[in-house]
């Protein structure tokens, strides 16, 4: 038996709205990975349109979490960070990565800052600068196209994109210092949406049919399934395809159900098939 993988998940806990830790922990668990939560803040909901949310900042506790875990001699197979609330938090995450990382730790940075050409509430342009430095510490980064534009000081354009534009963006992102990149929200034609990846083997694309609408939390769902699949030994390309399919299924299910997209997507119903796809359970089908 191989050892159980362990990941440090550095994200906020938004109680309602299905993003950050409330989706990342169950999806890492579904991949068989032990998920250790390093909460950056506690909110009643995400900041994406529900209004009136509570916010308790945990910046002052973050480094102590990292130091305590280090003192316990814990080995982390992955360190995965996402939405961060200030320049200071980004700097602290960089310190925690250096504190907890071993030779074989996979560092995944999702530079959550913006989507559809707009910064999330509470994200400042100064944070985008700092996020570039965090990306340099990562083995894999997972920006969407808006975040890629911010990281590269370029203007955001809504798609569809030509392959050469996407590959130029991926090559420019690589100069930030991270070898493996998964760019999300990539649409090469009107009817599809997916991801484009770059690694030492070149460029890869994956896509699914586009579902109309903006669904909250899908970036966190994509990045946590990607991280889980990578930890289970899938290549970057395979992992991105698994994450694309899983996210598409959740969005389609939610669109059919007609729930408020600010309430997040029904990813829970996809967990059994994700477990099968990651080879963690004998298939009961055929």
Choose between 85 and 270: whose C-beta lies nearer to ligand PXL.
85
Closest approach, Cβ 17 to ligand PXL, in A, equals 8
Decide: 207 and 194 in contact? Cβ < 8 Å. Answer: yes
Task: Identify which of 164, 139, 135 has the alpha carbon closest to the alpha carbon of residue 152.
Answer: 135
Torsion, CA 99, CA 217, CA 143, CA 134, rounded to 10: -20
Closest approach, Cβ 162 to ligand PXL, in A, equals 28
Residues that bind ligand PXL (CB under 6 A): 12, 14, 19-20, 43, 46-48, 83, 112, 120, 217, 219-220
CB atoms within 10 A of CB 87: 15
Choose between 50 and 271: whose C-beta lies nearer to ligand PXL.
50
- Numbers of helices and strands, H then E, in the chain: 9, 11
Closest approach, Cβ 43 to ligand PXL, in A, equals 5
Closest approach, Cβ 222 to ligand PXL, in A, equals 10
Closest approach, Cβ 286 to ligand PXL, in A, equals 36
Choose between 5 and 41: whose C-beta lies nearer to ligand PXL.
41
CA 262 to CA 207: how far, in whole Å? Answer: 23
Residue 252 tokens read as 């389609």
Decide: 204 and 236 in contact? Cβ < 8 Å. Answer: yes
Choose between 11 and 232: whose C-beta lies nearer to ligand PXL.
11
Backbone φ and ψ for 43, nearest 5 degrees, come out as: -125, 155
Q: Across the strands, what pairs with 180?
A: 140
Quote the DSSP letter at residue 180: E
Choose between 5 and 108: whose C-beta lies nearer to ligand PXL.
108
Choose between 120 and 203: whose C-beta lies nearer to ligand PXL.
120
Closest approach, Cβ 94 to ligand PXL, in A, equals 19
């Amino acid at each position: 038996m191989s050892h159980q993988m362990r990941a440090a998940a550095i994200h906020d806990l938004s109680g309602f709205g299905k993003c950050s830790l409330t989706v990342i922990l169950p999806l890492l668990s579904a991949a068989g990975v032990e998920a250790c939560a390093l909460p950056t803040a506690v909110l009643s909901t995400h900041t994406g349109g529900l209004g009136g949310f509570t916010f308790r900042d945990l910046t002052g506790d973050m480094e102590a979490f990292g130091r305590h875990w280090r003192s316990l001699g814990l080995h982390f197979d992955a360190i995965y960070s996402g939405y961060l609330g200030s320049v200071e938090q980004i700097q602290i995450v960089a310190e925690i990565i250096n504190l907890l990382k071993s030779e074989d730790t996979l560092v995944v940075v999702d530079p959550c800052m913006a989507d559809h050409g707009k910064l999330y509430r509470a994200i400042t342009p100064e944070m985008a600068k700092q996020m570039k430095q965090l990306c340099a510490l990562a083995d894999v980064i997972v920006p969407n196209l808006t975040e890629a534009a911010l990281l590269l000081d370029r203007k955001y354009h809504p798609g569809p994109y030509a392959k050469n534009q996407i590959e130029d963006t991926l090559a420019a992102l690589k100069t930030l210092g991270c070898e493996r990149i998964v760019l999300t929200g990539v649409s090469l034609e009107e009817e599809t949406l997916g991801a484009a990846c770059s690694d030492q083997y070149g460029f890869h694309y994956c896509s699914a049919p586009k579902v109309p609408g903006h669904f909250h939390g899908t970036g966190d769902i994509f990045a946590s399934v990607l991280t889980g699949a990578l930890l289970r030994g899938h290549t970057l390309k395979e992992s991105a395809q698994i994450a694309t399919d899983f996210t598409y299924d959740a969005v389609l299910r939610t669109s059919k159900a007609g729930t408020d997209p600010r309430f997040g997507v029904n990813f829970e119903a996809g967990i059994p098939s994700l477990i099968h796809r990651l080879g963690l359970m004998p298939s009961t089908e055929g």
